A and B are shown apart, each in its own frame.
Chain A
Amino acid sequence: MKKFTTHSGLVAPMDRANVDTDMIIPKQFLKSIKRSGFGVNLFDELRYEDEGLPDQDNSQRPLNMDFPLNWPRYEGASILLARDNFGCGSSREHAPWALEDYGFRVVIAPSYADIFFNNCFKNGMLPIILNEEIVNDLFVEMNEQEGFSLTVDLAAQTIARANGESIYFEVEAFRKKCLLDGLDEIGLTLQHVDAIKGFEQNWKQSCPWLFDALS
């Protein structure tokens, strides 16, 4: 997994609550059997005027210029500023894949849906929770100031504003460690192989019907 230590980048808005994963990456793009290439279809229905199809040449499609990500001032953004309950709906991991493939490494919102939140960490992305007031402030600042950027320091758990002020954020210790070291979770779990085998043996004795029924 990609490491995440510090990250500086331009901030772009997704200014509505309850953005669901279907909005992040519509289902027609889930038919791919690959993990990459979803970025051109991130927020497809909002970003383009026409209906997106898999395997299409997206460079020719009419853009919806009301959608901020299409504005020149947000070109190259890598931090997404969002609202409550970001990433709700379907469990598709294609949502963080699409955000990541587009170039986002950080999302900032007052709250997230659980599965999406989890999926971000597994893909080297950092979803940060800040309280609503601070998020509101950041929206105001971003709107006022073209080129509004932030610097995120995961080790220190801080976000530095251009004015030098710093915002503290919480992150679970284990997730932090995995991101900082770029650790592979499966490898970590397999360090407990004896514990898993031991559990499995006991479990098979107490609930034999849970084993071998499907084979």
Chain B
Amino acid sequence: MAGKTLYDKLWESHLVTELNDGSALLYIDRHLLHEVTSPQAFEGLRLANRQPWRIDANLATADHNISTETTERAGGVQAIADPVSRIQVQTLDDNCAEYGIVEHRMNDAGQGIVHVIGPEQGATLPGMTLVCGDSHTATHGALGALAHGIGTSEVEHVLATQCLVSQKMKNMLVRVDGELGAGVTAKDVVLAVIGKIGTAGANGCAIEFGGQVIRDMTVEGRMTVCNMAIEAGARVGMVAVDDKTIDYVKGRDYAPKGDQWTAAVSAWQTLHSDADAEFDVLVELQGEDIEPQVSWGTSPEMVLPVGARVPDPEQITDANKRDGVVRALDYMGLQPDQALVDIPVDRVFIGSCTNSRIEDLRAAAAVAEGRQVAESVKQVLIVPGSQAVKKQAEAEGLDKIFMAAGMDWREPGCSMCLAMNADRLGTGEHCASTSNRNFEGRQGNGGRTHLVSPAMAAAAAVAGHFIDVRELMAEA
């Protein structure tokens, strides 16, 4: 019999019971909540007269629609200018208070983007099942957890039963062998994967990322990769546990201590696919082939190496595909065959659960240091992923570097990743963004998003257009 994959092991260890139609009840260890997808779930509980099953499994924070402006934030919930956002944040506070759920409120030291604070506080641990009403929950799989996004009905279901009705997914291995070149980052790896397999390439699969490049990557880099699994169509992305994972978890607030730590570590050491495990789908990339990436269209699969030119619809034979390219070029205001480096940038956004951790900010600061934002660029927003990241960055003086370069240093939240607050693009504006989605209107009505790594975003900010960050590195 073939060995087990990491996903098989996580699935089996959480199996409560198989239902007679092929689905199963899976036990959920950790449930993260935020203001946007939870109010209707709490309302549902109340309407049905049900109680949460296990309060200590839940952790909440406000992140999606809060302001990132220091002055607006200072006034607390009552000072949130947008009345609809204010009600939503207040509703989360009220619900958590009513049920006794631990919440990191808007200005608490533990607040931040839900997918940044989970790992950072040790609320995400290897071997867990973890869910959240947000599709980028796959991020947490970087620690060897089974983590995925759920809808609001499922949020209510998990609150009420601590279980989820699940279907086993297929196993996909994305193996990135070799080594990455200088200036090539985790973000470029995952964009290259999506460019290769497409946004539906992993539908129905749980992806395990492996290979030398992933093993060499820091745990934060692995989070960036897993974060975007959903953009390849997979609800789940994960990486096997190794010494780096264990070092990362050690000492964090909610991580086990003492004897429990020792027991946990020995359990975690089994969290990898067996050598003889079989995968349903295998995708292979070579690290040396991956270059800094820039997305040009309105879907994350519309992505190319920075030195490339955008496609020319005339060269595409498949009619459906051609239509898609024509529509994307039109929306993005690009000419067929235009060089990516000729696209001017109006705004830059460095943040989001994909790229707002300390290493991301360090990479951006390394490029920004001693340079100035180009005059043609209207705004460069630097939004740390959490209060803890912000504090760390300030301790290292990164905020000073950004501000000296002419960039805005903000308060933690989702910000321009989805533009539910005041941070957004104007119609027709091009944005170099470290977030994860370039859909039409994602960052503001009519806005044009180009997905890049933090270093590439900072490089675009100083150049005023996309540029291969390796050119700037060579200058320094």
Mark A residues whose CB is within 8 Å of B: 16-18, 20, 22-23, 26-28, 30-35, 45, 51, 54-55, 84-85, 88-94, 111, 113-115, 118-119, 122-123, 172-174, 177, 184-186, 189-190, 192, 195-196, 199-200, 203, 206-215
26 A-B contacts (beta carbon < 8 Å):
A20-B437, A28-B420, A31-B82, A31-B85, A31-B88, A88-B233, A89-B135, A89-B439, A90-B418, A91-B134, A91-B150, A93-B40, A113-B203, A115-B135, A174-B21, A174-B165, A177-B21, A184-B48, A186-B50, A189-B157, A189-B160, A196-B27, A208-B260, A213-B254, A214-B123, A215-B55
CA–CA, A141 and B263, complex, Å: 64
Smallest distance from the beta carbon of B344 to chain A beta carbons, Å?
Answer: 24
Q: Are A215 and B102 in contact (CB under 8 A)?
A: yes
CA–CA, A91 and B437, complex, Å: 13
Smallest distance from the beta carbon of A73 to chain B beta carbons, Å?
Answer: 23
CA–CA, A74 and B129, complex, Å: 44
Give B11-24 as 1s and 0s: 1 = Cβ < 8 Å from A's Cβ atoms: 00000110101110
Q: Are A192 and B25 in contact (CB under 8 A)?
A: yes
Whether A85 contacts B151 in the complex (CB less than 8 A), given A35-B40, A92-B37, A200-B162, comes out as no
Q: Are B419 and A27 in contact (CB under 8 A)?
A: yes
User: In the complex, which of the residues A31, A111, A199 contacts B16, with contact meaning CB atoms closer than 8 Å?
Assistant: A199
Tell which of A22, A192, A196, A213 has the most Cβ of chain B within 10 Å: A213
With A31-B82, A189-B160 given, name 5 new contacts (CB 8 A). Answer: A31-B87, A186-B161, A199-B17, A203-B27, A209-B125
CB-CB under 8 A from B203, the residues of chain A are: 85, 111, 113-114
Give the residues from 338 to 362 in chain B that come closer than 8 angstroms, CB to CB, to chain A.
Answer: none
Give B129-168 as 1s and 0s: 1 = Cβ < 8 Å from A's Cβ atoms: 0000111000000000000011111101100111101010
CB-CB under 8 A from B150, the residues of chain A are: 91, 115
Smallest distance from the beta carbon of A143 to chain B beta carbons, Å?
Answer: 16
Whether A27 contacts B25 in the complex (CB less than 8 A), given A33-B43, A189-B161, comes out as no
CB-CB under 8 A from B58, the residues of chain A are: 214
Smallest distance from the beta carbon of B271 to chain A beta carbons, Å?
Answer: 12
Give the residues from 1 to 52 in chain B that come closer than 8 angstroms, CB to CB, to chain A.
Answer: 16-17, 19, 21-23, 25, 27, 29-30, 36-37, 39-40, 43, 48, 50
CA–CA, A20 and B449, complex, Å: 15
Q: Are A26 and B135 in contact (CB under 8 A)?
A: no
Q: Are B123 and A123 in contact (CB under 8 A)?
A: no
Smallest distance from the beta carbon of B130 to chain A beta carbons, Å?
Answer: 10
Residue of A nearest to B323 (CB): A16
Binds A, one of B220-228, B275-283, B440-448: B440-448
Smallest distance from the beta carbon of B447 to chain A beta carbons, Å?
Answer: 11
Closest 8 CB pairs of A and B: A174-B21, A209-B256, A33-B39, A93-B151, A122-B153, A91-B135, A31-B84, A93-B152
Q: Are A186 and B48 in contact (CB under 8 A)?
A: yes
Q: Does B397 contact A (CB under 8 A)?
A: no
CA–CA, A94 and B65, complex, Å: 16
Smallest distance from the beta carbon of B172 to chain A beta carbons, Å?
Answer: 13
CB-CB under 8 A from A119, the residues of chain B are: 151, 153
CA–CA, A118 and B169, complex, Å: 13
CA–CA, A159 and B87, complex, Å: 44
Smallest distance from the beta carbon of B96 to chain A beta carbons, Å?
Answer: 12
CB-CB under 8 A from B39, the residues of chain A are: 33
CA–CA, A54 and B441, complex, Å: 16
Q: Does B379 contact A (CB under 8 A)?
A: no
Smallest distance from the beta carbon of B429 to chain A beta carbons, Å?
Answer: 14
CA–CA, A214 and B441, complex, Å: 37
